[in-house]
Amino acid sequence: MLPIINMRLAHPEVLIDISGLQVLTGIDVVGDTLGVLTTHRMLETTQLRAVCPLLTDLAPFIALLAVRFRGTRGGFLVHADPSAKWSMAVATLRTAIELASSAGVRRLSAEEFFLRMLVTALAPDEILWRVAFPVLAPEPVWR
Ligand X SMILES: Cc1cc2nc3c(=O)[nH]c(=O)nc-3n(C[C@H](O)[C@H](O)[C@H](O)COP(=O)(O)OP(=O)(O)OC[C@H]3O[C@@H](n4cnc5c(N)ncnc54)[C@H](O)[C@@H]3O)c2cc1C
CB hemisphere CA count around 105 (13 angstroms): 9
Distance CA 93, CA 88 (A): 8
Residue nearest to ligand X (CB): 75
Angle at 56 between CA 129 and CA 71, to 5 degrees: 50
Q: List the beta bridge partners of residue 101.
A: 104
Give the shortest CB-36-to-ligand X separation in angstroms: 4
Give the shortest CB-102-to-ligand X separation in angstroms: 14
Which CB atom, from 52 or from 78, has the smaller least distance to ligand X? 78
Q: Which residues of the shown chain bind ligand X in the complex (CB under 6 A)?
A: 1, 3, 18, 36, 40, 62-63, 67, 70-72, 74-76, 78-79, 84-86, 122, 127-128
Which CB atom, from 127 or from 136, has the smaller least distance to ligand X? 127
